[in-house]
Amino acid sequence: MQKHELRDHLRKALFIPSMKARTKEQALEELLDLFVAEKYVKNKQLVLEMLKQRELLGSTSLGKGVAVPHGRTTATADVIIAFGRSEKGVDFDASDKNPVTLFFMVIAPHNDEGNIYLPILGTLVIILKDAKKRHALNKVETFEELVALIDGE
């Protein structure tokens, strides 16, 4: 998957440049609420439980202030990505013990067309390993800035 292909799965309505969450659970809910408000997710509790169960397997924090909570569910029809930025950071049980400031939540159906769920996760990891990208993402204020950074402009 190419970086620019991620833009097809980003939505302006799923963009929070200044999250309010202070805990891991609040962060999961704040991002998930965007999916629910836009009707990308039909059953909030089902998806929230799936995300919590995924976190019990191991934190989806990648370290260096980044987390990619994700999972598959019957409560959605499309692979969609939400982005959130926390100025103060959230304790997300990261292995490096650093608070998370950048969140990309990826929700996918069990059988997504083209089987792109895992390639999306892989592409996000590649982008987020780049210290310059992380630094720039921590400064985004608009959805358009986010898309330009993801596209590599």
- Tell me the catalytic residues: 70
> Which phi and psi angles does 61 have, rounded to 5°?
-75, 135
How does DSSP classify residue 8? G
Torsion of CA 126, 131, 136, 142, to 10 degrees: 30
85: part of which helix (H) or strand (E)?
Answer: strand 80-90
What is the token pair recorded at 51? 């995300």
Cβ 64 vs Cβ 96: under 8 Å:
yes
Rg, the chain, Cα only: 14
